[in-house]
Structure 1
Amino acid sequence: MPDPIFEDARLAPLYDPFDPDRSDLDAYVEIARTSGARRVLDLGCGTGTLAVRLADEGCDVVGIDPAGASIDVARGKSGADAVRWVVGTAEDAPTGWADLAVMTANVAQVFLTDDHWSATLKDLRRALVPGGLLAFETRRPETRAWESWAQRYAPTTLDVPGVGEVTQAYSLTDVALPLVSFRLTHTFHATGEVITSDSTLRFRDRTEVEADLLGVGLDVEDVRDAPDRPGREHVFLARSRPWSVRPADADDAGHLWRALAHAAGWRSGDVPVAGLRDDDALARYVDGWTPDQGGVVAVDDDGTVLGAAWLRLMPAVRPGYGFVAEDVPELSMGVEPPARGGGVGSALLAVLLERARRDGRRAVSLSVERDNSTARRLYERAGFVRIGGAGGADTLLREL
C-alpha cells in the first residue's frame, strides 16, 4: 500500500513543487549512458521525472509504481507519451527485457521486511536480460540521517498552481532501527484542509545489501558514493548472473554430503560419501544438521546445484575440528569443481554469514588446513582471523 503522499490525488501533485531539485537523478542518466542501456525499467518511478529524462535520451522506458495518483501526474508531463506507465509492483515487470533497472531516492528502503525485499530483488533480476544491470541507492544507517531531517525539512509554504498556498511540515515519529518513521503534514490554506502522510524506511548496511543481492543472483559490480550526498548514501551497481543462492532445507542433506566430500578431498580428490559416513569425525558435520542451524545452496537457473555452505552446532563433548564454543556454529563449504573460480564460494560465504548475523549468532568458526591457500584466502577476505590450531590445521573465527 503506497503512502498517501504518493497515492492521494490531493498530495501527489505536490511532490514535484516541494522537491524541485532532482539533480540526484543525473547519476542514473549517466549510468544509462555509460552502460549503453537501451531498455530501462524504473521501479518506483513516482511522478516520472527520471523516466521522462531517460526517454528523452532515446531509451525505451517502462515506469512502474504502485501509486496510481503519482502515475497520473507522470502521464501529464511533457514527453510522457514516450514512456510505458504501469500501476503495479516489481511483479509486473516484463521478463528478460531490461538492460538496466533502477530504483532512485528512497525506493529501495520502502521494502520493510526481508521477504518483501528479497522478492522485489528476485523480480528485478527476472526483468533483466542476462548480464543486465541493477542500480539503486540506499542511505547509510551509520550516518543517522534522520537526526538532521527536522532542520533540513523545516516547514515550507508554496503557492502551488491550481491549488493555492500549501504548507508542508515534517515530523519524526519513531526510530526503532532498522526502521525509521516520519510524517508529512500538508495544510491547504484555501480550504483549511489538513492531510497527513505517514512513511517508514528500512535502513540496511552495505554488508546486508550485498549479501541480499548475491543471494538472488545479482553480482555486486560497484558500490559508489551518491554524488549529491557524499558519505551519506551508497549507490549499488549489480549485474545479473545465471545462478543464485537459496536457503538449504532438510531435503538438501544429499547436497551437503556431496559438498563435504569436495571439502574433505580438496588435496587429492573427492572422498566417497560412503567413506564420510563411516568417519564419525567428518560425518558429524552433516549428521544432526537441521535447517535452523543455517545453510545455503548455490543453484544455476536450471536448478543444478553448484555448491553448499552450512553451519553446525556441536557439543563440547563431541566437537568438530574448528570447535570454539557450543553457541558458535562451525562452517563447512564445498563447491562443485566446474563452478570453482566463478564467485560461487564467495557468494555462499557472504550470504551464510549474513543469515547467521540475522539469526543472532555472535560468531562463526571453521577449521582449514594450513597449506590450503585458496580456501584460506577466501576466508580471510571474508573477515575470518586465526585464533588457534592443531596439527596441520588452523581454527579461524569470524565475529558477527
Structure 2
Amino acid sequence: MDGAVEQAAYQVIAAPAEGLDLALDTGASLLAASAERWPEVSRALVAFAERAIARSWTSGWRPADLVRVVRRELGPVQLALAVDLIAAEGRRHPAASLDRRWQEQLRELAAEVWWQSDEEFLAGFALRHRQDRFALATAALELLRVWGHLPPITPVGPVPGAGPSVSQRPSGPVTGEPRMLSRIRALLAKAESTEYPEEAEALTAKAQQLMAQHSIDDALLAAGQPSKNAPAALRLGVDNPYEGPKTMLLDAVAAANRCRVVWAKEFGFCTIVGFDADLDAVELLYTSLLVQATSAMHRAGSKQHLDGASRTKSFRQSFLVAYAARIRERLTAATEQATSDAAAGRHLREDGTAEQLVPDERLLPALAAREEAVDRTVGQMFPKLTAQRVRVSDGEGWAAGRAAADRASLHGRAGAITK
C-alpha cells in the first residue's frame, strides 16, 4: 500500500491545475476503495507525510509556517490533518533537540499524537471530523499537494536534531520564562481585555517601560561575549484583510526595538531579524497593539460615501496605516528616551520603580554594534529586497487611526512617551 499512496500523492502533486480534479478523484478512489486495506493506507499515508514534512524543515519551513499555508489555501479538515501529521513527524525528535520557539509553536498548535497506532489514525480522524474514506483521502491528497509545492525559504533557526542556536534561550513561556518577560506578557493581556482606555494606556505604558529595560539589560549582559552577540530571527503571520498596514505596524514595533522586518506577502508572513530579547518584545507588543488597533477600528463602524456606496474598506485601510505611522513615532521616541535614561544610569526595576546607578559606558557602543549586526544579518539572509508603498485614500480613516494610536499611547517615566 506504500506504493499506492506514493502513486496517488505524486500524481496529485504533479497534476496541472486543469487536471487536478481528475487526479484527486482517481487518487482518492484508489486509497479509499477497500475498508479492509484502510489501516494500511493510514500507516503509509502517515509515513509519506512524515517524509514530506521533514523535507520542509530542511527547506526552511517551521510548524507554524506549514499550518499557516494550509489555513490560507484549504479548509478546516485539512488544517486539523496538518496539525496531526506535524505531531506525527515530531515523534522523531526529542524535545531537547528543538529550539525554544519551535517548542512554543508546537504548544500553540496543540500538536499531539492522540492515536494509538498509525494504522488507526485515519479511522480515528474520520470519526472525530465526520469524514467518509473518500472525503478524507481527498483532503489528505490536497494537503500533500500544497506542501509539495512549497519552495525553499530562508531558515530562521536550526532544524530538529541540530540543537538550539546559541542566541536562543532554552526556556519558554511554560517553563522558566524570564520573570520580566512574564510580567510584560501579563500587563499586555490586561491591556487587551480591559474596557477602560485609561487603564489600557497605563498597562501598555508599563509594559513598554519594562521591554525597553529588558532589551538594554540584555545588551549589557552580552557585551564582550561574542557568542551571545549573534542576531536571531522569527516569523510572524500577517494575513488579510489589510495585510499591508498590519505589516507597517509590525515594522514600526520592530524598528523601535532595533529589529528589521522582511515581508513575504505570497506566504502571509514576515521575518523579523534581531536579538532574542528584542524579538520577544516585538512579538508581544505587536500582538497586543494589533488587538487594540482592530478593536478601535471596529468601534469606528462602517462608512459610506454621500451616494450611499460603502467606503468601509478604504476607511479601515487608511485607519490602520495612520495607526501604524503614529505608533512608529511614539515608539521611536520611547526607545530614544529609554536609551538616554539608561546611558545616564537611570534603571527601571522589574517592579516598575526606578533606581540611580553608575552610568555604564559600554551601553551605547553595545547597542550600536547590535544594530550593525542586525543590518548585516538581514543583508546576508535577504540579499534582494524591494520596498512597497501602501496607499491611503480616506482622510477620515487616517485621522481616526492617528487618534486611536494616541489613545494607545505609551506614556510614563522611563522609556515612555508623554502627550
> TM over 0.5: same fold?
no
- The structure with higher relative contact order (CA 8 Å, sep 6+) is 2
- If each structure's helix is expressed as a fraction of its own residues, which one has the higher value? 2
- TM-score range for the pair, normalised by the shorter chain length: under 0.3
- If each structure's strand is expressed as a fraction of its own residues, which one has the higher value? 1
| TM-score, structure 1 normalization | 0.26
